[in-house]
């Protein structure tokens, strides 16, 4: 599998670092954002192959990030969303906006890697 550019938007810095470490080990290039605003900037400037975003984030939510990718930038790149327990409605909204996959927290980072590779293949 070739080197892919992935944007991760996650406000938990430890989790971000953990995922960065894991996905870099798989050979991907990771771009990290701590909120939705930063994520949008990274996506606009770097044209990634995949976006992983949390739903609840400061300033701009994950839903707004998805909407921006699909409606404003009109990108067809795969999007994976993270959601905490009790955010089922948000997940449905995310799918309606164009998300491709979701993972409920707590999740296994190994499972995330499998899903990322599947979506990128």
In the complex, the residues that contact other proteins under the rule CB under 8 A are 12-15, 17-18, 21-22, 25, 85, 105-110
Is the CB of 113 or the CB of 119 nearer to other proteins?
113
Beta carbon of residue 15, minimum distance to other proteins (angstroms, whole number): 5
Helix (H, G, I), strand (E, B) or coil at 116: helix
Beta carbon of residue 83, minimum distance to other proteins (angstroms, whole number): 11
Is the CB of 113 or the CB of 120 nearer to other proteins?
113
Residue 63, C-beta contacts closer than 8 angstroms, at least 6 positions apart: 55, 90, 93, 94, 97
Helix (H, G, I), strand (E, B) or coil at 45: helix
Beta carbon of residue 36, minimum distance to other proteins (angstroms, whole number): 18
Mind giving me the DSSP string for 67-97?
Answer: HIIIIIS-----EEEEE-TT-HHHHHHHHHH
């Amino acid at each position: 599998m070739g080197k892919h550019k992935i944007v991760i938007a996650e406000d938990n810095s430890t989790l971000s670092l953990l995922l960065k470490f894991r996905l870099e080990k798989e050979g991907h290039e990771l771009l990290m954002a701590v909120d939705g605003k930063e994520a949008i900037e990274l996506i606009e400037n770097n044209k990634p192959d995949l976006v992983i975003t949390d739903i609840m984030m400061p300033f701009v939510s994950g839903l707004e990030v998805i909407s921006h990718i699909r409606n404003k930038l009109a990108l067809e790149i795969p999007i994976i969303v993270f959601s905490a327990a009790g955010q089922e409605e948000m997940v449905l909204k995310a799918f309606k906006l164009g998300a491709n996959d979701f993972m409920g927290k707590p999740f296994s980072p190994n499972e995330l890697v499998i899903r990322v590779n599947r979506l990128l293949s």
